[in-house]
Amino acid sequence: MKIISSNGKEDLAIVHIAESSTGNLVEFVESMHLQKPRSEKWILTISTLYGCPVSCTICDAGSYYLGRMSKEAMFWQLDYMISRHYPDSKIPVKQLKVHFTRMGEPAFNMSVLDVINEFSWYFEAPGFMPSISSIAPKGSEKFFDELLRLKNEKFSGGRFQLQFSIHTTDEAKRDELIPVKKWSLNKIAEYGSKFYVKGDRKITLSFAPSRENPIDTKVIRGIFDPAVFLIKLTSLNTTQNALKNELTPVIEHGSTQEGESAINSLAANFADAGFEVLLIPGNSEELVIGSTCGQNLIAHSR
């Protein structure tokens, strides 16, 4: 592959776009924690598919799908970003978080597990922490069974992050947002109870709240155990699809009194139900750069 563009700021986030030998485009991101230096935390987010077949209504990565990325192509993305800062492949970062979440649903590509398993063969990174974010598509049982085995063998004790994208508790609305067959909330909860053991990071249930898609904290509490799962409330980014589908974010980029009241009330309801809550407002600079979730620069450029 070859790099065709890079966009962003070194002290915040950079989105790289590369072209494969067959002409397929791929994008990947390196970003910084807003309050920590690179030596403390560095975040690499890579693509696992060329595009995505899911076509979530809040994400621009589903505008096309050209297949799975090979293990070598995923390692190429990692090597490019790592070699820019650590050409000897020794990464003295306290927490090197690698997200397999940029373009594509990772559970559709079994080679993602090979990259996680073989990462230490190529890079010396004691702080390596893989992160999988998934919609839990139906038929992905083999992927998640192998992921559970891999986590227990190599990444127990809080060195792995698993996230499921939920977004709404209304099943009909969830089917509109994520228009493919997927696990029920009950099945996600059942898997989580097997995946999590004491000492692991809690499994994240991710919501990008919009006013059109209800979130009932009682429904979540009735299905999910706060000892196993935590709640993440994050901004619904102004992607082309979110705008086209007229979705109104609850967490605004640039807070309003009404928005703050609504999201604080939702966070408080989850907290009252016993859940740990992560409230992550949007960053306007990252939105402009296009480094945030669902901001597919390839789709925009096309």
The DSSP bridge pattern shows strands 95-99 and 25-32 to be unpaired
Identify residue 245 by its one-letter amino acid code: N
| 55: confidence class by pLDDT, cuts 50, 70, 90 | confident
CA–CA separation, 90 and 74 (whole Å)? 19
Higher pLDDT, 221 or 176: 221
CA distances from 141 to 71, 136, 146, 171 (A): 20, 9, 9, 21
| 76: confidence class by pLDDT, cuts 50, 70, 90 | very high
**Could you read off the pLDDT of 224-256 as tens digits, one per residue?**
999 999 999 987 666 665 656 556 667 665 555
Give pLDDT, residue 65: 85
Identify residue 114 by its one-letter amino acid code: D
Give pLDDT, residue 254: 52
CA distances from 33 to 12, 30, 206 (A): 7, 10, 19
For the whole model, what pTM was predicted?
0.89
* Opening angle at CA 188, ends 184 and 190, nearest 5: 110
- For the chain, give the number of residues: 302
Q: What percent of the chain has pLDDT over 70?
A: 83
- Beta-carbon contacts of 112 under 8 Å, excluding residues fewer than 6 positions away, are 48, 74, 100, 106, 132, 143
Q: Which of 36-50, 101-115, 236-250 comes out lowest in average pLDDT? A: 236-250
Q: If you average pLDDT over each of 18-27, 44-53, 222-231, which comes out highest?
A: 222-231
The DSSP bridge pattern shows strands 25-32 and 41-45 to be antiparallel
| 141: confidence class by pLDDT, cuts 50, 70, 90 | very high
Domains of the chain: 2-301 (3.20.20.70)
Q: What percent of the chain has pLDDT over 90?
A: 62
| 51: confidence class by pLDDT, cuts 50, 70, 90 | confident
Identify residue 107 by its one-letter amino acid code: A
Inform me whether the pLDDT recorded for 66 exceeds 80: yes
CA–CA separation, 98 and 90 (whole Å)? 15
Give pLDDT, residue 35: 84
